[in-house]
A and B are shown apart, each in its own frame.
Chain A
């Protein structure tokens, strides 16, 4: 089944109820329908698709800004270099590890928090507000906060807290690891998990609160335990919210630049694809090379996006039930 036929069912009934257009003059009617859509569509094609065509063209060129005289057709040279360059392969692995780790951990934490917040307790609104704060801090600000105020080996809060705790037990020799050099990727991941857990929690909480309560209550009367209710009723209902949260989270985390750029400057094996493309272009001035990297990133994204889009369309198909 093709994607369009899956999604056409979304809210098609409503569309059919709308007054039918005059059929005798078909093409003016069709254009009248298209007219409101065209500005947005044309705008998107011009601003987002044309640059990619540019990237594609430049990727086949020998073009270094520091050597402007030597510009010309390079064939597949840039691609050959990209594929033999261990840096790109490493960046690819880093991107996958970073995205999967951040999305999975924040999804699990977000689910736990959503389950906690789903029940009534004193000050629930306040706790919810406390929990979404990390998501509302500007990403660069958050990255700077983690790098300098928390991770810093000599005066960061984490090591400061270690000193304080150790001193409680009368020790003046607390461990003071330099988090950014010992666990660089983990450091970036932790800051991103902090930012994205609230996002996951908000979507999952909305999912939890939209589930029909009468079924759960009937199951409870029939003697189902809390775990059984979660496993067989809550979780299946929550599945599409989990998928939606994971998908949207991946779309943003895979493109993350701010945290990698700020916290480690791509050093110590934390350079992901966006950061690598940025450095090839911004620091090395090798336009051809940067474009080839860009094209590869786009192709990989298309592969991932195809699966993601299929998920989205199945989500919307379920929504109509």
Chain B
């Protein structure tokens, strides 16, 4: 009986399985299509950056126009003599130093919020998060006035300070979620050995939560690198950052599309590289450590 029933059942299943497989490959195709659609504007930006200004401003677009590095040479100052390195260095300094500060402040704070929590630690957590919900623009004016009186305008340290405050709440939340996962046994052994807090943090906890620290650093770096509003208002010639420099490529006369695209690619490159290299860290970071 069974030997008779089986083949017929298989025959009945076969069309369903085939339909299933066809559906799956169709959905895969759809996913590819969506990926390409989302990537297209970026691809167009990269392609345009390698075109000459004349070819970049054609209608319909010249996709097969000859490639040139003219836009990139312009970005590096061949036409105007303005070097992109000071703003790039400023951005790198602001992002790197503020990220380091964020980690130095957030790591012990997260310890006091998770492993040996202070009383009312949840209130502290929500205080940190609430500062992130207040629009930074509302504090812009007093910051500007204080900076002006203190002679800190156009000073990269002012931006470092502000970027640290912008990313610290996110970092505290993320680090806390990572530290809460540290096995208690490790800490108990350490405290029996009589290790002090700095030793515990650096020697025992840090090695365990290295991926979490990396995720925190990545997010903090990206947000600092991208910031425009405060950099625009509080800096000038000396401490201007890359995003501010980028807005300067738009001119009211003449063609500028290729060099703007080249500049946009160059300035996005560090973030793109870091983001691609650490896609999983990106998810952890974006969700404040709630998604692992």
User: CB distance A133 to B39 under 8 Å?
Assistant: yes
Residues of A near B24 (CB, < 8 A) are 119, 121
Which A256-297 residues have C-beta < 8 A from chain B?
257-258, 261-262, 273-274, 277-278, 281-282, 287, 290-291, 294-295, 297
User: CB distance B139 to A55 under 8 Å?
Assistant: yes
Which B92-142 residues have C-beta < 8 A from chain A?
105-106, 108-109, 111-120, 122-142
User: CB distance B161 to A47 under 8 Å?
Assistant: yes
Q: Does B197 contact A (CB under 8 A)?
A: yes
Q: Does B191 contact A (CB under 8 A)?
A: yes
For chain A, the bracket of interface size reads 35 or more
A 1-14 binary contact with B (CB < 8 Å = 1; else 0): 00110011011001
Q: Does B65 contact A (CB under 8 A)?
A: no
Residues of B near A297 (CB, < 8 A) are 135, 137-138
Residues of A near B180 (CB, < 8 A) are 10-11, 14
Give the CA-CA distance A138 to B88 in the complex, in Å: 13
Residues of A near B44 (CB, < 8 A) are 145, 149-150, 157
Residues of B near A205 (CB, < 8 A) are 283
Residues of B near A104 (CB, < 8 A) are none
In this complex, what residue of A is CB-closest to B184? Answer: A17
In this complex, what residue of A is CB-closest to B36? Answer: A130
Which B176-212 residues have C-beta < 8 A from chain A?
180, 184, 187-188, 191, 197, 201
Chain B interface mostly helix, strand, loop or mixed? helix
Give the CA-CA distance A124 to B31 in the complex, in Å: 8
Q: Does B214 contact A (CB under 8 A)?
A: no
Which A187-235 residues have C-beta < 8 A from chain B?
194, 197-199, 202-203, 205-207, 210
Q: Does A254 contact B (CB under 8 A)?
A: yes
Residues of B near A206 (CB, < 8 A) are 283, 287, 291-292
Q: Does B153 contact A (CB under 8 A)?
A: no
Q: Does B60 contact A (CB under 8 A)?
A: yes
Q: Does A141 contact B (CB under 8 A)?
A: yes
Residues of B near A181 (CB, < 8 A) are none
Give the CA-CA distance A139 to B162 in the complex, in Å: 19
Can you report 25 A-B residue pairs in the complex whose CB atoms are below 8 A from each other? A18-B187, A19-B191, A35-B112, A36-B112, A41-B109, A41-B127, A54-B139, A116-B30, A116-B34, A117-B31, A126-B35, A131-B34, A131-B39, A145-B44, A146-B41, A155-B61, A160-B59, A161-B60, A198-B38, A244-B291, A273-B137, A277-B140, A298-B134, A301-B133, A301-B135
Binding site for A on B (CB under 8 A): 24-25, 27-28, 30-32, 34-36, 38-39, 41-42, 44-45, 48, 56-61, 105-106, 108-109, 111-120, 122-146, 161-162, 164-165, 168-169, 172, 180, 184, 187-188, 191, 197, 201, 222, 225-226, 228-229, 233, 242-243, 246-247, 249-250, 256-257, 260-261, 263-265, 267-268, 271-272, 275-276, 279, 282-283, 286-288, 290-292
Binding site for B on A (CB under 8 A): 3-4, 7-8, 10-11, 14-15, 17-19, 21, 30, 33-37, 39-41, 43-44, 47-55, 58, 112-113, 116-117, 119, 121-124, 126-142, 144-146, 148-150, 152, 154-155, 157, 159-161, 163-164, 167, 194, 197-199, 202-203, 205-207, 210, 241, 244, 248, 251, 254-255, 257-258, 261-262, 273-274, 277-278, 281-282, 287, 290-291, 294-295, 297-298, 301-302, 304-305, 308-309, 312-313, 315-316, 319
